[in-house]
A and B are shown apart, each in its own frame.
Chain A
Amino acid sequence: DQQVKQNSPSLSVQEGRISILNCDYTNSMFDYFLWYKKYPAEGPTFLISISSIKDKNEDGRFTVFLNKSAKHLSLHIVPSQPGDSAVYFCAASFQGAQKLVFGQGTRLTINP
């Protein structure tokens, strides 16, 4: 049962444009969401998070949007840079669970 889904295995974006990565979840108990970036053979690096009491959180070039009614979140990267090329994972948790449930990841490639 895949509770967190990233339906796009890959995404290719031109340098300088906006990258939009999407994530859907099924468990309505999830109330905390995170995005991680991962390079091969390294651990995931935390990017940005959002609590379910908010619908938007910004940190520099990264913005996460949460639509609770649609059980959908997205990560916007503006402007996209070559160093953003990596696999992006969304993850979700709920109070008391003490664990993260991850999506399958989206490989983002930024083209010069």
Chain B
Amino acid sequence: KAGVTQTPRYLIKTRGQQVTLSCSPISGHRSVSWYQQTPGQGLQFLFEYFSETQRNKGNFPGRFSGRQFSNSRSEMNVSTLELGDSALYLCASKEGTVQETQYFGPGTRLLVL
């Protein structure tokens, strides 16, 4: 099976803009989670979607939002970008209903200037 794919891989934006990142999970996986990795905070959980519903949310401001489509693909949106949003954004998928291993995509590197 193909792995988790994320687009774009790299992105440069300026403060105040908004950005949308995309994630395609492993075929058959219905759960998609998003994480932010920064040097200072490490890997932090953003939110998790399953069957188009957000099941869990981390401690991030409302500027960070997401959605999941009926084919399990997911998008993450960040509005009014701040310099501190510069990070590697990782998407992970798993089959979904019980405790299982999450498999990560390569990430999207976002730089906010």
Contact = CB atoms under 8 A, between A and B. Distances in A.
B interface residue count range (under 10 / 10 to 19 / 20 to 34 / 35 or more): 20 to 34
Interface of A: 31-32, 34, 36, 41-46, 49, 51, 89, 91, 93, 95, 97-105
5 contacts: A43-B104, A98-B50, A98-B56, A99-B58, A102-B44
Interface in B36-67: 42-45, 48, 50, 55-56, 58
Contact of B42 (A32, A95, A103): A103
A97 B56 contact: yes
A98 B42 contact: no
Nearest to A94: B99
Contacts of A104: 42
Interface stretch (B11-19, B70-78, B79-87, B105-113): B105-113
Nearest to A89: B43
B24 interface: no
B45 A99 contact: yes
B88 to A, nearest CB: 7
Contact of B104 (A31, A45, A51, A93): A45
A41 B101 contact: no
